Amino acid sequence: MSRRRRIYEGKAKILFEGPEPGTVVQYFKDDATAFNNQKHDVITGKGVLNNRISEYLMLKLAEIGIPTHFMKRLNMREQLVREVDIIPLEVVVRNVAAGSLVKRLGLEHGQALPRSIVEFYYKKDELGDPLVSEDHITALGWATAQELDELITYAVRVNDFLTGLFMGVGLKLIDFKLEFGRFWEEEDMRILLADEISPDNCRLWDLKTNEILDKDRFRQDMGGVAEAYQEVAQRLGILPEISNGQMTEGESAEEDKTPTEETQDKA
């Protein structure tokens, strides 16, 4: 078992140094947080499900020409990704009014938007990730105007593709959040889709019943969080061998190990 250095620990994932320079191992935890960390719980099996769902969606997006950081899934909880410098923006795409949009603008929850809306939030926990305009972003140097154009183009393509993909399995893509990073190859810089795409950062409702199958179940104390994520995975046809986020067959117990690491963190 190799010992790895922990680069960063976030709310739902840990990043370890990868086996090759320029690579990172992304470990999916079972922790769930909401309301800027004020609410925290452990949802058994969530990390396993998100690892699988995100792998599946990133690979599908790569097939349609969206460059992503995803390289390969290593085991139940880990995937190998390219090391990127994360652009400090959350790119949110909305198709239906929900969450903070409803609160901010007084729209009706569940109201279809006349067209999809792309929003940017500045990634800064201390400030509660505030909504920012394109002018804030370019003036304060978080991304250039050209990079912003690229982010919007990718976000819209991801939305078009995922809306169709989820529709095909009876799910409505209400909204979602993307993160992007800069990837350097010698002198060349490319923007890659990074982080994860899972029910932790998408709102997904059943097409017929509007049943909530995403992290809102956790935010609103509705229960059945892991079951909802599992339902999403099953509809996507990717988890026949896992029940309730636990292994039954097809994966070895060794693969569900907790992360190994050296004790000292990067300064």
- Contact residues toward ligand UDP (CB under 6 A) are 90, 92, 98-101, 129, 175-177, 201-203, 215
- Minimum gap (Å) between residue 174 Cβ and ligand UDP: 7
**55 or 119: whose CB is closer to ligand UDP?**
119
Residue least distant from ligand UDP (Cβ): 99
Do the beta carbons of residue 98 and residue 109 sit within 8 Å? Answer: yes
**143 or 173: whose CB is closer to ligand UDP?**
173
- Minimum gap (Å) between residue 209 Cβ and ligand UDP: 19
Do the beta carbons of residue 108 and residue 97 sit within 8 Å? Answer: yes
- Minimum gap (Å) between residue 177 Cβ and ligand UDP: 3
**78 or 90: whose CB is closer to ligand UDP?**
90
- Minimum gap (Å) between residue 99 Cβ and ligand UDP: 2
Long-range contacts, stretch 163-170, CB < 8 angstroms, 24+ apart: 163/95, 165/57, 165/60, 166/204, 167/207, 169/235, 169/236, 169/237, 170/206, 170/207, 170/208, 170/235
**198 or 261: whose CB is closer to ligand UDP?**
198
In angstroms, the CA 143 to CA 139 distance is: 9
Q: What residue type is 46 in one-letter code?
A: K
**214 or 261: whose CB is closer to ligand UDP?**
214
| Burial of 16 (C-beta count, 10 Å sphere; 0-12/13-18/19+) | buried
Closest CA to 239 of 59, 73, 50, 64: 50
Radius of gyration of the chain (CA): 18
- Minimum gap (Å) between residue 24 Cβ and ligand UDP: 20
